[in-house]
Structure 1
Amino acid sequence: MQNSLEEINSTVRYNDNYPFLKRLSAFIGPGLLIAVGYMDPGNWITSMSGGAKYGYVLLSVILLSSLMAMLLQSLSVRLGIASGMDLAQVTRRMTTKNKAVVAWIIAELAIMATDIAEIIGSAIALNLLFDIPLVIGVAITVADVFLLLLIMRLGFRKLEAVVGVLVFTILIIFVFEVYWSHPDAREILNGFVPQTAVLTNSGILYMALGIVGATIMPHNLYLHSSIVQTRQYNRDSNPSKKEAIRLATIDSNLQLSIAFLVNCLLLTLGAALFYGTHQSLGRFYELYRALKESHIAGPVGGGVMSTLFAVALLASGQNSTITGTLSGQIVMEGFINLRMKPWMRRLLTRLLAVIPVFFCLYFYGSSIANVEELLVFTQVFLSLALPLSIIPLLMATSKKQIMGEDFVNRRIINIIGWLSVVVLCVLNLYLIVETLLEVI
């Protein structure tokens, strides 16, 4: 079996004899690409709407879902380094050829669904910032693929650096916006304490399920198990692999902590500006307009707040484009061993993703509201696809034949992992039913 992402596998310099901080810095990067999936445009509306409707009470739910994400991503790291395979390759090994093809199709559709959300986010951001028509904005997103290829030619570390700049752009913008919105610090701290209202109030419960159910993205598990292998640790040494797992897990938890902070900032911004105003914040344009018209946004004014929001949305969409195209390569090569030229594969993936968006624009009109309806259906499909990624991950990391005796999961990790699977599946099933009932 060929290496995962062979063109960049083991290309980042690393030496076990480096001082600790230099060893850690060599592993900083993959976690940034993973964190992107936890602060993508699809998560923004849920967090800000949750704050606007229910104040700070859902901060405890963001904390819980972030801890669950850290666990699953750490298992993905362990799988990639210990087995030398990514999740797609391992799943192919554990199943039959026909089932692998079905799993590949579902994984590709999940990546496409994620890509649709990023295309919509980027196109709306371009519309808000430059008044570019949505059709043209969607077409512009196709060019992102070639920008990615150009960056990749400069080296994987350059790609990680670009993603890092965009991630910290988003973080800084929302720190700035929350600062000027003057949130109640005491209420924020109280929000991290679980409250019975989350379970007893049906509206809060539904929003909480939305936050948890939409947090874990299937493509992130495939992506992380692959890109951790870009480091040049000793594949034949268990001590070296253990150290690589430790450093990669630190990187993952550090970057997911940034994603956790961004989601908390989003909810806090919604609560500080709009809680108690009875203002509907269901879509990107409504969020933008609400920020623009806000009269309590400090001396910087609502216009600056809304513009920065659109810039952050554009940065988020660009980040997610990068991770989505890489994930497409991983699942295609891992499940069915189909190899194409990088530019052709990434262009094909993006074109397949923009077709539903163009279809919506053509048949339902070029309004932002119509395009945003696609987000509902993409989230439903991601909920369906999620168990098909998590279950193989837990199964694989529990097998000595795949992981080796020194790297299999401890019993407590398996217990927590399978409980997380059950919780996520139940929550996602509930969300799917509720969403379909709303549509019907």
Structure 2
Amino acid sequence: MGEKASTVDWKTILKALGPGLIVTAAFVGPGTVTTTSSSGAKYGYVLLWALTFSVFATIVLQEMSARIAIATGKPLAEFIRTSLSKNPTINKVAAALVVLAIGVGNAAFQTGNLTGAAIGLNTILGNSALLWLWVIAIIATILLWTGSYKIVEKFLTALVVIMGFAFLIDMFAAKPDWGQVAVHLVKPSIPEGALTIVLALIGTTVVPYNLFLHSSSVLEKGWKGWEGIKIMRWDAGIGIFLGGLFSWAIMITAAATLHPLGITIKSAGDMAIELEPLLGKWAAMFFALGLFAAGMTSAVTAPLAGAYAIQQSLGLPRDMKDKYFRLWLMLIMFAGLGFGTMVFATGRSPIEAIIFAQAVNGVLLPIVAWMLLYAANKKEYLGEYTNGPITNVLGGIAVITATILGIRLILKALGLM
């Protein structure tokens, strides 16, 4: 109990920050930018509370995933494959589902990540969005090919700082009604017709592949025991809160500038265009910079998370330099690049690929969330690190919400919503 009650000093926490910021780098992508922008433009500040709930749910689920990894020495996908059930057939089926859903879903999401980053960079530098698409994909590929977790973590951390700076600058420039912001951050309210976007706001933050990415990242850091779990909790709380802060900033900016004028948007690129006459060209450039950083970070984390999950589900080495690990990276990266090239070459929207990825997530999210909650209660493996009553209540709320979200995403993909 003495170890459990021990404290960790701030210097240690700040020095250790990383995996939580990688989670933020992953979930604040072009999809998040688009969803929060359109929500703020259409409903003003009213749906800020949905992001507050999303941050809470993400912290709860990510903490469980990372705690399982620290307690057992196994990342989530490996734990599912080897220890979820005493029946090996169930474990193999669960692992196969992870491989299929994460592999296919992340390849589809990668299309949106690369195109979003390219649109942001093209807004700033001009030339050709298709050119920037390839440049971004090549940079992300080189970064991941190094096989160095430390290099990837530092790169993503730097981009998260840039992204946050860009979105926060625009938020303060928009001069929002801070009283309304404070009220709606904690006051649940769903205007007529807004349920779909409420669930979309939750879905763009609570991302299933992040559960696999986070559990792998904490093991890369070498965190162990209660001290490691305490560091992990601070890291996750700080990192995910910052991701929520950036999402709030985007919605607040749209609510303060576009909503009063009745301007609605369909994409993050529209947001940058609409901001220019309202706040000036520099504000549009900052937003485009944030969009680029959001797309770039997600373009790195989607293949990384996919490779981790597939590699561990198949029982292959946990090594970023392993030939199969690199194979999964390249398959996801170039699937996104191929579809992204088609998007810009034909003038089509990447929305079809994104909707398909959301449908895959709709199937995967509730299944993984329930498996996660079940796994976190397996005392024979986690021992003193097993979920307590409070964690189970909080986790139950998050998992039930994930189930509702998953059903909604499937229905939307089938055209039934």
The TM-score normalised by the length of structure 2 is: 0.89
1:66 equivalent in alignment to 2:67: no
Paired residue for 2:98?
A: 103
Structure 1 residue 260, shift from structure 2 partner: 1.1
1:352 equivalent in alignment to 2:335: yes
Q: Deviations over 1:135-193 (max 9, x none)?
A: 3333333313333146654xx33432221211111111122111111111111112123
What is the aligned counterpart of 1:366 among 347, 365, 372? 347
Q: Deviations over 1:184-237 (max 9, x none)?
A: 111111212324x41xx3323222121112221111100111111123445xxx
Q: Deviations over 1:4-49 (max 9, x none)?
A: xxxxxxxxxxxxx997334323431111101112311111111111
Q: 1:345 to 1:132 in 2, by over 3 A?
A: farther
- Please show how residues 28-43 of structure 1 align to structure 2 within 5 Å: 28-43=17-32
Amino acid at match of 1:346: L
Paired residue for 1:126?
A: 121
5+ long unaligned stretches in structure 2: 1-5, 85-89
Amino acid at match of 2:126: D
Paired residue for 2:376?
A: 397
Structure 1 residue 64, shift from structure 2 partner: 1.0
User: SS state of the match for residue 194, structure 2?
Assistant: helix
C-alpha separation in 2, matches of 1:41 and 1:152: 25
Q: 1:429 to 1:97 in 2, by over 3 A?
A: closer
User: SS state of the match for residue 261, structure 2?
Assistant: coil
- Please show how residues 114-193 of structure 1 align to structure 2 within 5 Å: 114-149=109-144, 152-153=147-148, 156-193=149-186
1:247 equivalent in alignment to 2:231: yes
C-alpha separation in 1, matches of 2:77 and 2:212: 6
Higher mean Cα deviation, 319-328 or 70-79?
Answer: 319-328
Paired residue for 1:229?
A: 219
Amino acid at match of 2:408: Y
Higher mean Cα deviation, 351-360 or 118-127?
Answer: 351-360
Q: What is the root-mean-square deviation in Å for CA atoms of aligned residues? A: 2.4
Structure 1 residue 86, shift from structure 2 partner: 0.6
Paired residue for 2:257?
A: 273
C-alpha separation in 2, matches of 1:318 and 1:274: 26
Q: Deviations over 1:87-110 (max 9, x none)?
A: 110111133435522331112122
Paired residue for 2:64?
A: 75
Alpha carbons 2:36, 2:247 under 8 Å: kept:
yes
Alpha carbons 1:126, 1:132 under 8 Å: kept:
no
Q: Deviations over 1:232-278 (max 9, x none)?
A: 445xxxxxx01110111111001111111111111100011011322
Paired residue for 1:4?
A: none
Q: 1:98 to 1:394 in 2, by over 3 A?
A: closer
User: SS state of the match for residue 125, structure 1?
Assistant: helix
Structure 1 residue 360, shift from structure 2 partner: 4.3
User: SS state of the match for residue 33, structure 2?
Assistant: helix
Alpha carbons 1:110, 1:218 under 8 Å: kept:
no
Paired residue for 2:13?
A: 24
C-alpha separation in 1, matches of 2:28 and 2:373: 24
What is the aligned counterpart of 2:282 among 279, 283, 304? 304
Paired residue for 1:5?
A: none
Q: 1:327 to 1:26 in 2, by over 3 A?
A: same
Q: 1:312 to 1:266 in 2, by over 3 A?
A: same
The TM-score normalised by the length of structure 1 is: 0.84
Q: Deviations over 1:327-380 (max 9, x none)?
A: 122112211124642544422321122233334455xx225xx23443333323
Q: 1:151 to 1:311 in 2, by over 3 A?
A: farther
Q: 1:148 to 1:184 in 2, by over 3 A?
A: same
Paired residue for 2:405?
A: 427
C-alpha separation in 2, matches of 1:217 and 1:49: 19
Q: Deviations over 1:285-344 (max 9, x none)?
A: 3212111232xx2xxx2x111111111111111211222232122112211124642544
User: SS state of the match for residue 192, structure 1?
Assistant: helix
Alpha carbons 1:144, 1:318 under 8 Å: kept:
no
Paired residue for 1:57?
A: 46
Paired residue for 2:387?
A: 409
Paired residue for 1:205?
A: 195
C-alpha separation in 1, matches of 2:271 and 2:57: 28
Amino acid at match of 1:40: G
Alpha carbons 2:52, 2:186 under 8 Å: kept:
no
Q: 1:438 to 1:292 in 2, by over 3 A?
A: farther
User: SS state of the match for residue 143, structure 1?
Assistant: helix
Q: 1:126 to 1:132 in 2, by over 3 A?
A: farther
Amino acid at match of 1:226: S
C-alpha separation in 2, matches of 1:335 and 1:216: 21
What is the aligned counterpart of 2:275 among 291, 295, 311? 291
5+ long unaligned stretches in structure 1: 1-16, 235-240
Structure 1 residue 411, shift from structure 2 partner: 2.4
User: SS state of the match for residue 236, structure 2?
Assistant: helix
What is the aligned counterpart of 2:75 among 83, 86, 95? 86
Amino acid at match of 1:44: V
C-alpha separation in 1, matches of 2:62 and 2:44: 29
Alpha carbons 1:103, 1:388 under 8 Å: kept:
no
